[in-house]
């Protein structure tokens, strides 16, 4: 009886501590967004009021509707989505065959190649912005969507190759050989067998690339000059003037910018936690 009671007590204490830790960590992450939401719902006069009132006296929900007219927010969202999605597709098109070849072939210098791929992640686009700008001028790609798609794709290619090669290497070769015996080609095996099994890796690469392209600011600020082509990260800075900052619209626009990424993650989250070989057994 004592052992059962002590076991229950230990289990309860561990569960309570984990629950409290989870709530604390969750609060640390959610509080900045909560403050953004409260500020976005304040009238402009109350934001700079001293002393600061953390809750608005009047909830200004119209800030979320007026921001669409203060700046061309719809155009910014369209540009960001087009560039981020195109860069993501470009990365997957080239990363999938490269990662598959690396995973299935033990060629000389394979380890060095993977290390080189990983080392490229250490180079920040900010540090290379001058060289990137000069190259885009040379190829007449300044102020074009294509320039951003190429650059975002190049800087996110390495991670995608690395993560996908690990997923492909984890899939047993016997599954491919069984498909070959049934008459499937190598490309057909990759498309019908390997890619469905590597879906968690594909989703990880997709999310990483899309979010990185969606949130990028410095390269877009350097290359884009036409307001109708500016992505959301650059367009929101138009709310920051020389003498004043429209904080209510800036926070409202920032929260709107988060929504597409949250929806995307919620839509494909189940694939992230899915089994690597789900569906491999008939």
Query: For the segment 55-74, what is each residue's pLDDT rounded down to a tens digit?
Result: 777 888 888 889 898 899 99
Take residue 198 and report the two structure tokens written for it: 């590597």
Take residue 200 and report the two structure tokens written for it: 């968690």
Dihedral (C-alpha) 233, 239, 243, 247: value to the nearest 10 degrees?
A: -100
Residue 157 near residue 88 (C-beta atoms within 8 A): no
Q: The tokens 């597409």 sit on which residue?
A: 260
Take residue 247 and report the two structure tokens written for it: 């904080």
Take residue 151 and report the two structure tokens written for it: 């650059």
Q: Which parts of the chain sit beneath pLDDT 50?
A: 1-9, 275-282
| Residues found in the chain | 282
pLDDT at 174: 83
Measuring CA to CA, which residue among 227, 233, 229 is closest to residue 214? 233
127's CB contacts (< 8 A; 6+ apart) are none
pLDDT at 184: 78
pTM to 2 decimals? 0.82
Distances from the Cα of 6 to the Cαs of 2, 13, 17, 85, 107, in angstroms? 6, 10, 16, 55, 57
User: Cα(207)–Cα(262) distance, rounded to whole angstroms?
Assistant: 11
pLDDT at 1: 46
């Amino acid at each position: 009886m004592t052992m059962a009671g002590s076991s229950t007590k230990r289990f309860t204490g561990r569960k309570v501590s984990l629950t409290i830790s989870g709530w604390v960590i969750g609060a640390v992450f959610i509080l900045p967004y909560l403050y953004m939401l409260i500020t976005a719902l304040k009238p402009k006069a109350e934001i700079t009021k001293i002393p600061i009132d953390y809750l608005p006296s009047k909830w200004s929900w119209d800030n979320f509707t007026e921001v669409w007219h203060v700046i061309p927010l719809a155009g910014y969202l369209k540009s960001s989505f087009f560039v981020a999605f195109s860069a993501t597709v470009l990365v997957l098109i080239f990363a999938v065959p490269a990662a598959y070849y690396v995973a299935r072939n033990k060629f000389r210098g394979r380890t060095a190649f993977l290390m080189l791929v990983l080392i490229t992640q250490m180079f920040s686009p900010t540090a290379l912005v001058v060289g990137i700008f000069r190259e885009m001028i040379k190829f007449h790609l300044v102020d074009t969507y294509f320039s951003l798609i190429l650059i975002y794709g190049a800087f996110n290619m390495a991670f995608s190759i690395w993560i996908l090669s690990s997923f492909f290497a984890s899939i047993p070769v016997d599954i491919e050989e069984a498909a070959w015996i049934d008459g499937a080609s190598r490309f057909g095996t990759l498309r019908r067998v390997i890619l469905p099994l590597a879906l968690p890796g594909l989703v990880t690469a997709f999310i990483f690339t899309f979010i990185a392209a969606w949130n990028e600011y410095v390269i877009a600020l350097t290359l884009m000059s036409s307001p109708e082509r500016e992505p959301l990260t650059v367009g929101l800075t138009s709310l920051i003037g020389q003498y004043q900052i429209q904080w209510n619209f800036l926070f409202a626009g920032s929260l709107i910018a988060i929504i597409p990424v949250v929806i995307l993650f919620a839509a494909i989250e189940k694939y992230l936690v899915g089994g690597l070989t789900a569906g491999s057994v008939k």
